[in-house]
Amino acid sequence: MKIIKTGSAGTLESSDVLITVRSNNGRGVQITLSSTVEKQFGKQIRLVVLETLKQLDVTEAAVDIQDKGALDCAIQARLIAAVHRAAGIEKINWEEMR
Amino acid sequence: MKDRLRRTMLYVPGNNTGIIRDAAIYRSDSIMIDLEDSVSYRQKDAARLLVYTSLRTFDFEGVETVVRINGLDTPYGREDIKAMVRARPDIIRLPKTDSAHDVQEASRLILQEEKKNGLPEGSIGLMAAIESPLGVINAYEIACASERLVGIAIGAEDYVTAMKTSRSADGVELLYARSAVVTAARAAGIQAYDTVYSDLNNEEGFRQEVELIKQLGFDGKSIISPRQIKVVHDVFTPSAKEIEHAQKVVEAIDEANAKGSGVIAVDGKMIDKPIVERAKRTLEMASASGVLSRKEGRYHA
């Protein structure tokens, strides 16, 4: 999936995460993370993000994550929504979703 | 699935991860995650994804999961069905149902997705909310429209607006619609659910409304806050006196059957078939509400 514009999804409410995805031409995937639980879960959050981007076949993106203690399933949902918005794709391919 | 206890169906906004995660802890009979009115148009895609990943992740500890989708006449309803069948809630709730065709179309789309995902046919239940004068007129046809249907609900806000009135304390403006919906449901052999009561600070008014809808014959009610659960469960749980009487009736009829005698009386009143049926239902409700346990075919407090 190719990122063509800025797309974000999520909120700054407790247990949620606000994810913004931008194009990152020629620089692969870059993640910036600010989280209320970064010390304990920073590594896990990055792992979920990288794995989800791989599933979506996103190889180039700047991903900004402002986390308010979201669980993995919320991070996945927000990232998938943000990537689709940033790729200008309205419909999700549900058959490909895990 | 069809006859499950559904006294309380707690609305949960579909785009709020913390509320979805914690929804089961209040022990309503069902939680109803909403993709429709509580989600703005710009967030439909994000909410659908959040509900999808949440349903596939969280354990709702035996609390039934219902998802209210968007209407099939909107750009979102069909996509909701595609996603939700894969996410496997127990029930999909269709809003703004005006005709049997609406139910049949939703059921057909669900079936299509069940097949695509290798799920047994009918594994996802369907509920239909009637929210218009036309829907009320067509209530019986709607209630009979699909084997998948577990119940129909009355949604009051759009209905009263279309009727050129508004909601009042005693609910007189809803009397016909409520009666029509519950009668249609009973005639079709499915459940009936009442609409929400929005004034969270008026507990007495809420209790009166719950007593009214129970008396009309409804199985339960949609609720908007965990604070409303206890009142509904209290009203729907039979009292000790009702349980005692029901037990006497059932014991008397069992004894009469054993002896082969016909007419019987309990506390000086003749007992006939409808009274026995009501007594059995009282005991079933008491058992389902957790105030009685059933052992060896008899009820024990």
Closest alpha carbon within chain B to A15: B18
Residues of B in contact with A92 (CB under 8 A): 45, 48-49, 79, 83
B116–chain A Cβ distance below 8 A for any pair? yes
Q: What is the pLDDT of residue A87?
A: 97
For B199-223, how does the pLDDT look when each residue is reduced to its tens digit (9 = 90+)?
999 999 999 999 999 999 999 999 9
Closest alpha carbon within chain A to B54: A73
For A2-12, how does the pLDDT look when each residue is reduced to its tens digit (9 = 90+)?
999 999 999 99
Instruction: Please report the domains of chain A, with CATH numbers, ordered by start residue.
Output: 7-90 (3.30.230.10)
Closest alpha carbon within chain A to B44: A81
Which of B50, B86, B116 is the closest to A97 by Cβ?
B86
Distance in angstroms (rounded) separating the CA atoms of residues B100 and B164: 25
For A43-89, how does the pLDDT look when each residue is reduced to its tens digit (9 = 90+)?
999 999 999 999 999 999 999 999 999 999 999 999 999 999 999 99
Q: What is the pLDDT of residue B294?
A: 64
Q: How many residues does chain B have?
A: 301
**Closest of B108, B111, B60, B109 to residue B80, by C-alpha:** B109
Q: Which residues pair with B295 in a beta bridge?
A: B298
- Tell me what the pLDDT averaged over chain B comes to: 94
CB contact under 8 A, A77 and B52: yes
CATH number of B8-236: 3.90.1010.10, 3.20.20.10, 3.20.20.60, 1.20.120.1080?
A: 3.20.20.60
B13–chain A Cβ distance below 8 A for any pair? no
Which of B15, B58, B86 is the closest to A94 by Cβ?
B86
Residue ranges per structural domain of chain B: 8-236, 240-300
Please report, rounded to a whole number, the percentage of residues in chain B having pLDDT higher than 70: 97
Query: Distance, in angstroms, between A80 CA and closest chain B CA?
Result: 8
Please report, rounded to a whole number, the percentage of residues in chain B having pLDDT higher than 90: 82
What is the ipTM, given to two decimal places? 0.97
CB contact under 8 A, A92 and B49: yes
Cα–Cα distances (Å) from B223 to A3, A75, B24, B233, in that order, read 42, 29, 14, 12
Q: pLDDT under 70 in chain B at which residues?
A: 263, 294-301
CB contact under 8 A, B45 and A85: yes
Residues of A in contact with B46 (CB under 8 A): 9-10, 77-78, 81
Q: What is the pTM of this model?
A: 0.93
Closest alpha carbon within chain A to B87: A98
CB contact under 8 A, B54 and A80: no
Query: What does the DSSP assignment read for chain B?
Result: -TT---SEEEEEETT-HHHHHHGGGG--SEEEEESSTTS-GGGHHHHHHHHHHHHHH---TT-EEEEE---TTSSSHHHHHHHHHHH--SEEEE-S--SHHHHHHHHHHHHHHHHHTTPPTT-SEEEEEE-SHHHHHTHHHHHTS-TTEEEEEE-HHHHHHHTT----TT-GGGHHHHHHHHHHHHHHT-EEEE-----TT-HHHHHHHHHHHHHHT--EEEESSGGGHHHHHHHHSPPHHHHHHHHHHHHHHHHHHHHT---EEETTEEE-HHHHHHHHHHHHHHHHTTS-EEETTEEE-
